[in-house]
Structure 1
Amino acid sequence: MKRRTASLLTAAALAAAVLGAGAPSASAAPGGCTYTSTSHRPVLKQGSTGASVKQAQCLSNIWGGVPKLAVDGIFGAKTLDKVKWIQGCHGLPRDGVIGARTWAVLYDPVPDCYDPYPR
């Protein structure tokens, strides 16, 4: 019985690995954005800096909009405009703050936005 259970657990683990199941890794982020773990989602706003800002900038570039943001880790005016645009595309408040709901849409990009990109 113990051998059979161990074999089943080994088979399940192998299947999960092959199918990509399990905890998300940084490499699972869209667009190759690997500045932070996909589970690290602090609240960010204009003036924030660091790796999490780089992650948000990288993810936001997947959305389109011209120009693309520099992935420099500084949440400045251009990042603020881009975040507000993405929020508007999803019916979120256009407050420019990257909280849980905005992180969720950054990680699940849908490029079909009919809002004009701010110039």
Structure 2
Amino acid sequence: MITLGAALCTGSLLVLAVPQIAGAASRGCSYISSTFRPTLTYGQTGPAVKQAQCLSNKWGGQPPKLAPTGVFDAAVLKKIKWIQGCHGLPESGVIETRTWQALYHPVLDCYNPYPA
């Protein structure tokens, strides 16, 4: 019998949990491959922006749902900055490697209030 401590030491528990979280977050968001993660900034358009919008909707709480329009507008910018803050990332509003990681692996609860 494997104990919890042994599973944590071997990483077995982590290996089992990560794919389930990643799959759950990206379920229904198939505008681009989950491995294609371009840097996105305010004003850009296209399927990668749609993917970011869709993934941002996997977050619970107060933030409004974003329609997957493919336009990186003020509403997307506001929500991305909030998500970055929830993950302890710089609130730049730029979707880069660490922000994509946050989008695919959302925190369960964010205690940062959503800006009015």
With normalisation by structure 2, the TM-score equals 0.75
Moved over 4 A (4+): none
Aligned mates of 2:63, 2:51 — CA distance in 1: 18
In the alignment, is the contact (CA less than 8 A) between 1:60 and 1:106 conserved in 2? yes
Pairwise CA RMSD of aligned residues? 1.5
| Corresponding position: 1:109 with 2:112 | no
In the alignment, is the contact (CA less than 8 A) between 1:50 and 1:73 conserved in 2? yes
Q: Output the amino acid matched with 2:46.
A: G
> Counterpart of 2:39?
43
Q: Deviations over 1:25-46 (max 9, x none)?
A: xxx4623100000001000010
Pairs within 5 Å for 1:43-82 = 43-64=39-60, 65-82=62-79
Q: Deviations over 1:32-75 (max 9, x none)?
A: 10000000100001001000000000000101333211110000
Between structure 1 and structure 2, the one with the greater Rg is 1
> Counterpart of 1:6?
none
Q: Output the amino acid matched with 2:89.
A: L
Q: Output the amino acid matched with 1:46.
A: Y
Tell me: higher relative CO, structure 1 or 2? Use CA pairs within 8 A at least 6 residues apart. Answer: 2
**Secondary structure class of the residue paired with 1:44:** coil
> Counterpart of 2:90?
93
With normalisation by structure 1, the TM-score equals 0.73
Aligned mates of 1:105, 1:69 — CA distance in 2: 17
Q: Aligned residues: percent identity?
A: 62
Structure 2: give runs of 5+ residues left out of the alignment. 1-18
- 1:94 positional shift: 0.2
Pairs within 5 Å for 1:4-15 = none
